[in-house]
Structure 1
Amino acid sequence: MPNHIHAILQIKNDGNDPVETHGSASTSNQQHPVKKHGRASLPNDNGVAYRPPKSISSFVAGFKSATTTKINQYRQSKMPVWQTRFHDRIIRDFEEYHRIQNYIIDNPRNWKKDKLYIR
């Protein structure tokens, strides 16, 4: 749909690094400052927000930043593009993967039924 995206990310991990979602506590001592407090950021001991490295939150933030830059260059503006939050889900088996994959494929067909659809 034009007002949001769906994606399936495959995380390949050798088991040495934690994989985190929605700002789960990082086992890394490294802290990366971020501008806003939100679901994707955590306060450190000093109350400063940081995004855990190698997290889904960090990946999504980078994606949003890069696409916002390109979109605003294209439309020659500096308008917000994305909502501040996102929803993630861990796919645990092939049946769930197949169901979600079909939902993503079928999703654009439902655009005219969306409450934000404008003719």
Structure 2
Amino acid sequence: MDRPIRKSNRLKNYDYSTNGAYFVTICTKERANILSTIDVGKAALCLPILELSDIGRIAEKYINNVNVVYDGVMVDEYVIMPNHIHLIITIDNFGRQRAAFPTLSDIVRSIKIMIRKETGKSFFQTSFYDHIIRSEQDYLKIWRYIDTNPEKWTEDRFYTE
């Protein structure tokens, strides 16, 4: 049976190995809440408590390993929500050979593959969402969004019970 042709989420004619910062969202299949749980608290002053599942801890291990696998690539900020992961990934290929530049897709794919290898199961949607961060203001806004995402879990567009 032929698979349907997927429309690319990537910006046409953009080189995703270019130096810069990228906001990435990786979703679980069928938005299954398998990566973490969030207790948003009952009182207004309570901060949410985010607890990673076993799968979430495995994902965190490979997210934190990105800079070891890819020289010049860093995950600056991330949050592992119940059914998705937000990351800011920066690529700095200054002084490196062009042939060795990883693309954003290479980086995200490697995270997913390592999780799949360790768990024996594929938990994530085939594609991912990305946003090219074009200014310091945009970067800081996205950082704050990631940092406060657990507090706003019930308002999140990916929220499911």
**C-alpha separation in 2, matches of 1:109 and 1:69:** 32
2:145 is aligned, of 82, 97, 103, to: 103
Q: How does 1:52-71 map to 2 (within 5 A)?
A: 54-70=102-118
Shift of 1:80: 2.6
**Runs of 5+ in structure 2 lacking a partner?**
1-80
- 1:11 maps to a residue whose letter is I
Alpha-carbon spacing, 1:12–1:4, altered in 2? closer, same or farther (3 Å)? same
* Larger RCO: 1 or 2 (CA < 8 Å, sep 6+): 2
Encode CA deviations 1:84-105: one digit per residue, 9 max, x unaligned: 0111121111100010001101
Give the 3-state SS of the residue equivalent to 2:86 in structure 1: coil
**Higher normalized strand content (fraction of residues):** 2
Deviation at 1:17, TM superposition (A): 5.6
Contact map agreement 1:111 1:117 (CA 8 A) in 2:
no
2:157 pairs with 1:117: no
Hey, what's the Cα distance between the residues in 1 that align with 2:130 and 2:111?
14
**C-alpha offsets along residues 29-78 of structure 1, whole Å, 9 cap, x if unaligned?**
xxxxxxxxxxxxxxxxxxxxxxxx621111111111112223x2xxxxx4
* Pairwise CA RMSD: 2.4
Q: Distance in 1 between matches of 2:117 and 2:109?
A: 12
1:80-91 correspondence runs (5 A) = 80-91=122-133
CA distance in 1, matches of 2:125, 2:90: 23
Give ranges in structure 1 of 5+ residues lacking alignment.
19-27, 29-52, 73-77
TM-score using structure 1 length: 0.56
Match of 1:92 among 134, 138, 161: 134
Amino acid at match of 1:12: D
Per the alignment, residue 84 of structure 2 pairs with 4
Structure 1 residue 15 displacement after superposition? 6.5
TM-score, structure 2 as length reference: 0.43
Aligned length: 80
Report the identity percentage.
35
